[in-house]
Amino acid sequence: MIKTDILIIGAGPTGLFAVFEAGLLQLKCHLIDSLAQPGGQCAEIYPKKPIYDIPSRPEILAGDLVDQLMEQIQPFQPGFTLGETAQDIQKQADGSFIVTTNKGTRHHASVVAIAGGLGTFEPRKPNLEGLQQWEDKGVDYIIRDPEVYRNQKVLIAGGGDSALDWTIVLADIAEELTLIHRRSEFRGALDSVEKVQVLKDQGKIHLITPAEVTALRGGVVLESVTVVQEGTSKNIAVDRFLPLFGLTPQLGPIADWGLEIEKNAIKVDNSLDYQTNIPGIYAIGDVNTYPGKLKLILCGFHEATLMCQSAYQRIHPGKRNVLKYTTVSGISGFDGSRKEAQKSTIKTIE
């Protein structure tokens, strides 16, 4: 039995930052994640994707953000159960919880914080005949390393933030880059739309709208796609086809825990502490929903901070916690140089 103060389900940026805020309150954390490494989507799906809305960071790669969050929490020595999924939860007579994973690992905690991001997810795939035979042979749904596409002829399909952001990143990497969208208007951030338009005007990318891919062709690997625009069909030579239509999130076993769910997200009380309808269980980050919710990493950081303050009161009822700025209190066990910070203990289940 692994015992901890706060059991965090999900080791993405929000979950990792919660460890830091809990550590300032001298609360011990343990994290469960189905992935084999900490970092969530930032580490698994787009580690090389730049992020622009982290305070004080004009730009930071998603993977670098995870690395720095891991460095930040080292003094607090969190535990990790990786490669396992939180399966079952049982509330104890004293109000604590026992959470068991799909591999039978049991965790006992006073508080549970669900920070599962979008949950488990599958890419939304276009309805194209024979699509599956080209997967890993020229068709990719997730970009992990942009260098894979260097000097390649790449066609991206999609109209959201992911398609726009990767078009901007790959414009200087691919030999030839084409972005197509079935509508003339994009649904991504206005700034990204403007950047893509500039790239088109500069001749760095081809932009085809409204249009869609209707067929894939090739021998051993993908060699071309058929694009239909306003009734006219043409073939475009490609090495890589990236249909970036987003992900279909699923809460997985958490959906059966008796939590109040709304549109595949967990409802929380945002007026105070992001607690769910079950006292002692919180939901922070993209996995939760409330009026005015914004799915941003920085919002998850804020939610994690308030959750930890509430968790402290639950774990130490009646004990007063005086908020002190870290510039005054420092970080216990941390010498400021980071050289002496001990490494986190990571328990990976094969």
Please give the domain boundaries of the chain with CATH numbers for all domains: 2-121+247-348 (3.50.50.60), 125-243 (3.50.50.60)
Least confident among 87-91, 118-122, 123-127, 339-343: 339-343
Question: Which tokens go with 221?
Answer: 């690997």
Q: Which residues of 51-82 are buried (b: 16+ CB within 10 A; e: fewer)?
A: beebeeeeebebbbbbbebbebbbbbbbbbbb
User: Which amino acid belongs to residue 269?
Assistant: D
74 SS3 class = helix
**Nearest by Cα to 98 from 290, 281, 325, 286:** 281
274 SS3 class = coil
The single residue listed with the structure tokens 């595949």 is: 264
Question: Which tokens go with 50?
Answer: 């730049």
Task: Give 237-272 pLDDT, tens digit per residue.
Answer: 999 999 998 766 678 889 999 999 998 899 999 988
What is the spatial distance between Cα 313 and Cα 275, in angstroms, rounded to a whole number?
Answer: 13
| Residue 240 near residue 149 (C-beta atoms within 8 A) | yes
Average model confidence (pLDDT) across the chain: 89
**Nearest by Cα to 46 from 242, 235, 211:** 242
What is the spatial distance between Cα 26 and Cα 343, in angstroms, rounded to a whole number?
Answer: 17
pLDDT at residue 346 greater than cutoff 50? no
Task: Give 49-98 pLDDT, tens digit per residue.
Answer: 889 889 999 999 999 999 999 999 999 999 999 988 899 999 999 999 99
Least confident among 2-16, 233-247, 325-339: 325-339
Task: Give me the pLDDT at residue 66, please.
Answer: 95
Question: What is the end-to-end Cα distance of the chain in Å, rounded?
Answer: 18
Residues in contact with 66: Cβ distance below 8 Å, sequence separation at least 6, in sequence order:
13, 16, 38, 39, 40, 42, 43, 47
Q: What is the largest CA-CA distance in the chain?
A: 72
Radius of gyration of the chain (CA): 23
Q: How are beta strands 232-237 and 222-229 bridged, if at all?
A: antiparallel
Task: Give me the pLDDT at residue 48, please.
Answer: 77
Task: Give me the pLDDT at residue 345, please.
Answer: 41
Q: How are beta strands 50-51 and 60-61 bridged, if at all?
A: antiparallel
* Burial degree of 271 (CB within 10 A; 0-12, 13-18, 19+): exposed
Q: What percent of the chain has pLDDT over 70?
A: 89
What is the spatial distance between Cα 66 and Cα 41, in angstroms, rounded to a whole number?
Answer: 10
**Alpha helices, DSSP H only, in 11-90?**
13-24, 40-44, 62-73
Residues in contact with 87: Cβ distance below 8 Å, sequence separation at least 6, in sequence order:
100, 101, 102, 253
User: Which amino acid belongs to residue 96?
Assistant: S
* Across 166-195, average pLDDT: 93
Task: Give 17-41 pLDDT, tens digit per residue.
Answer: 999 999 999 999 999 998 778 998 7
Tell me which H or E stretch contains 164: helix 161-170
pLDDT at residue 108 greater than cutoff 50? yes
Sign of the alpha-carbon torsion through 215, 218, 221, 223:
negative
Task: Give me the pLDDT at residue 37, please.
Answer: 84
Backbone φ and ψ of 106, nearest 5°: -105, 140
pLDDT at residue 120 greater than cutoff 80? no
pLDDT at residue 335 greater than cutoff 60? no
pTM (whole model) above 0.75: no
pLDDT at residue 154 greater than cutoff 60? yes
Q: Which residues of 306-328 are buried (b: 16+ CB within 10 A; e: fewer)?
A: bbbbbbbebbeeeeeeeeeeeee
Task: Give me the pLDDT at residue 89, please.
Answer: 97
- Note the residue count of the chain: 350
Q: How confident is the model at residue 325 (pLDDT cuts 50, 70, 90)?
A: low
Residues in contact with 126: Cβ distance below 8 Å, sequence separation at least 6, in sequence order:
157, 212, 213, 243, 245
pLDDT at residue 324 greater than cutoff 90? no
